Chain A
């Protein structure tokens, strides 16, 4: 465990040093803060504009940070050959993958917390208090985003384990898009015959169903979220991320690094 945590802390330091993540974070913070100004352009429901723009910015930039940092997580180490001194030590490849992933997860969560603080400040200014913390499923929405980023980071780590940084980023973004389209596509394929329906269902099970963790609408309309979501929704995301990470460890374990 100590070895894994040591590798994770190195991954966090690396991520903080990378300008890409910092730039994305600054841009996201600017957008979240700007939602207050943009909402003045509408009439009627300003709250929904602030919440929509704020949460979408957080989700979009959080996903990009997870994708681009995750794509280089292992692939860049292999390209720079900095992975060799690590795996030459008594550290298994599985521990290396998990350590790197946990470092990435800590980075994306830290980024999200910074964005969430700014978002909460904007909401507090608009609503004139912190009442929204009780009236909306704010904390659950943030938890769902943490799990979403964990899923995206796991997918990026998986591709990073056997391909280049660029390809891993492309593959991950493709899967993120597929993850948002999955529920629409499975319905469409079901109308195209039995085998198409089965194929659609199989693909639906494989791609990350990011829509299952999309609680933005509940935040906009102050809907109550069922208590079972903590088990089914968040549980699904954690299980999926764990599974993909296990595959990443298996693939990297068999990779020929000569």
Chain B
């Protein structure tokens, strides 16, 4: 009995020491946002999986889920999301949900080119999901102002089995360069029905807010024009619309700020988010950001700078109306 007590005590002391050190290590790791240090290339990973490709794909997918769900993701950045999902879909090209989730999250993070690439890969190698071209249409139209490309993708989405009839209407509308914010809202709501997780739905909600913002701003600008016509003078403040009886009350800003009239830009803006739909040439980042930059006290002036509008969007490919939808629906 005496012989067993000293080793037991020593074991207990060493275990306690190890636990303290381990907790110290864990606190260091937990203080940083979840990140992935290295993402292997798809081709060697396929070989190294030794017949367990879908399982390896799932393990990297679980890592991707944590990467997306990290609460401090915006501070960390999204550099590894595309390589991770590229690897997941190299290992298992039929993993449809991976394409869809990455397409939405990358777009919401402002990484439009990567969003397009993963969605196009989904169309080429993945299952036939209408959501891939549908979201490509949204990227092209809403963020890039490229009606022609948006119409092409919307047409492809409409032709994919299981697609909603609303998509055909959107395709026709985009082809005639008359996409409206209401259609963007419908499009995003359609996509939200195809999403089964909160993280991706949250990203779609962020983009829905942009569509609401655009819808409200356009409606307010129409009222500003009516105000000018009625009074023969320029509007100083949006509250004047209420005072003139043109509006019961100003709609709430979906981003938590307030709508303001910016006379120099001749448009309505949110006080906390500079996004407005623009027609412009292809560029990597969309002309918006979700949060008010830190330390900004005057919400308007720096956010109002916008790229010069390009009068005509891309006309690279001719538009062919969908069979049976040669004329736009009423």
Query: Could you list which residues of chain A lie within 8 angstroms of chain B, going by C-beta atoms?
Result: 38, 41-45, 48-49, 52-53, 55-56, 59-60, 177, 180-181, 184, 210-211, 214, 216-217, 220-221
Residues of B within 8 A of A45 (CB): 95, 97
Q: Are A44 and B50 in contact (CB under 8 A)?
A: no
Among the listed stretches B54-62, B114-122, B148-156, B178-186, which one makes contact with chain A, having 4 or more residues with CB under 8 Å of it? B54-62
Residues of B within 8 A of A38 (CB): 62
Among the listed stretches B26-34, B192-200, B284-292, B301-309, which one makes contact with chain A, having 4 or more residues with CB under 8 Å of it? B192-200
Q: Are A49 and B58 in contact (CB under 8 A)?
A: yes
Residues of A within 8 A of B323 (CB): none
Q: Are A41 and B62 in contact (CB under 8 A)?
A: yes
New A-B contacts (17) at CB < 8 Å, excluding given A44-B101, A49-B58: A43-B65, A43-B101, A43-B197, A43-B198, A44-B97, A44-B196, A45-B97, A52-B57, A53-B58, A60-B52, A181-B50, A211-B51, A216-B52, A216-B54, A217-B92, A220-B54, A221-B94
Minimum CB–CB distance from A208 to chain B (whole Å) comes to 12
Residues of A within 8 A of B97 (CB): 44-45
Residues of A within 8 A of B55 (CB): 52-53, 55-56, 216
B199 CB contact (under 8 Å) in A43, A177, A180, A214: A43
Minimum CB–CB distance from B44 to chain A (whole Å) comes to 10
Q: Are A177 and B58 in contact (CB under 8 A)?
A: no
Minimum CB–CB distance from B52 to chain A (whole Å) comes to 5
Which of B53, B54, B57, B101 has the most CB atoms of chain A within a 10 A radius of its CB?
A: B54
In the complex, residue of chain A having the shortest beta-carbon distance to the beta carbon of B53: A217
Q: List, sorted by A's number, 17 A–B pairs whose CB atoms are closer than 8 Å.
A: A41-B65, A41-B66, A42-B58, A42-B61, A42-B62, A43-B200, A44-B197, A45-B97, A49-B58, A49-B62, A53-B55, A180-B51, A181-B47, A184-B46, A210-B51, A214-B51, A216-B52
In the complex, residue of chain A having the shortest beta-carbon distance to the beta carbon of B61: A42
Residues of B within 8 A of A210 (CB): 51
Minimum CB–CB distance from A31 to chain B (whole Å) comes to 11
Once the chains are docked, how many angstroms separate the CA of A220 from the CA of B61?
A: 15
Residues of B within 8 A of A42 (CB): 58, 61-62, 65
Q: Are B47 and A184 in contact (CB under 8 A)?
A: yes
Q: Lowest 5 CB-CB distances: which A-B pairs, in order?
A: A43-B197, A44-B97, A56-B55, A180-B50, A52-B55
Interface extent on B, as a size class? 20 to 34
Once the chains are docked, how many angstroms separate the CA of A44 from the CA of B129?
A: 15
Q: Are A52 and B54 in contact (CB under 8 A)?
A: yes
Q: How many A-B residue pairs have CB under 8 A?
A: 60
Minimum CB–CB distance from A222 to chain B (whole Å) comes to 11
Minimum CB–CB distance from B93 to chain A (whole Å) comes to 10
Chain B contact surface mostly = helix
Residues of B within 8 A of A49 (CB): 58, 61-62
Minimum CB–CB distance from B67 to chain A (whole Å) comes to 12
Residues of A within 8 A of B198 (CB): 43
Within 8 A of A (CB), among B40-98: 46-47, 50-55, 57-58, 61-62, 65-66, 92, 94-95, 97
Residues of B within 8 A of A220 (CB): 54
Residues of B within 8 A of A216 (CB): 51-52, 54-55
Minimum CB–CB distance from B47 to chain A (whole Å) comes to 5
Once the chains are docked, how many angstroms separate the CA of A216 from the CA of B94?
A: 13
With A181-B50, A184-B47, A221-B94 in contact, do A48 and B58 touch (Cβ < 8 Å)? yes
Once the chains are docked, how many angstroms separate the CA of A52 from the CA of B57?
A: 9
Once the chains are docked, how many angstroms separate the CA of A220 from the CA of B52?
A: 12
Once the chains are docked, how many angstroms separate the CA of A8 from the CA of B61?
A: 44
Within 8 A of A (CB), among B154-206: 196-200
In the complex, residue of chain A having the shortest beta-carbon distance to the beta carbon of B94: A221
Minimum CB–CB distance from B51 to chain A (whole Å) comes to 4
Q: Are A177 and B50 in contact (CB under 8 A)?
A: yes
Once the chains are docked, how many angstroms separate the CA of A134 from the CA of B200?
A: 32
Minimum CB–CB distance from A60 to chain B (whole Å) comes to 8
Once the chains are docked, how many angstroms separate the CA of A192 from the CA of B101?
A: 40
Minimum CB–CB distance from B192 to chain A (whole Å) comes to 14
Q: Are A56 and B50 in contact (CB under 8 A)?
A: no
In the complex, residue of chain B having the shortest beta-carbon distance to the beta carbon of A57: B55
Once the chains are docked, how many angstroms separate the CA of A216 from the CA of B54?
A: 8
Once the chains are docked, how many angstroms separate the CA of A43 from the CA of B46?
A: 23
Residues of A within 8 A of B47 (CB): 181, 184
Residues of A within 8 A of B51 (CB): 59, 180, 210-211, 214, 216
Minimum CB–CB distance from A37 to chain B (whole Å) comes to 12
Once the chains are docked, how many angstroms separate the CA of A38 from the CA of B61?
A: 12
Residues of B within 8 A of A177 (CB): 50
Residues of A within 8 A of B65 (CB): 41-43
Minimum CB–CB distance from A57 to chain B (whole Å) comes to 9
Once the chains are docked, how many angstroms separate the CA of A59 from the CA of B46?
A: 18
Once the chains are docked, how many angstroms separate the CA of A214 from the CA of B51?
A: 7
In the complex, residue of chain A having the shortest beta-carbon distance to the beta carbon of B64: A42
Residues of A within 8 A of B101 (CB): 43-44
Minimum CB–CB distance from A219 to chain B (whole Å) comes to 9
Residues of B within 8 A of A43 (CB): 65, 101, 196-200
Which of A41, A44, A177, A220 has the most CB atoms of chain B within a 10 A radius of its CB?
A: A44
Once the chains are docked, how many angstroms separate the CA of A169 from the CA of B94?
A: 35
Once the chains are docked, how many angstroms separate the CA of A180 from the CA of B94?
A: 21
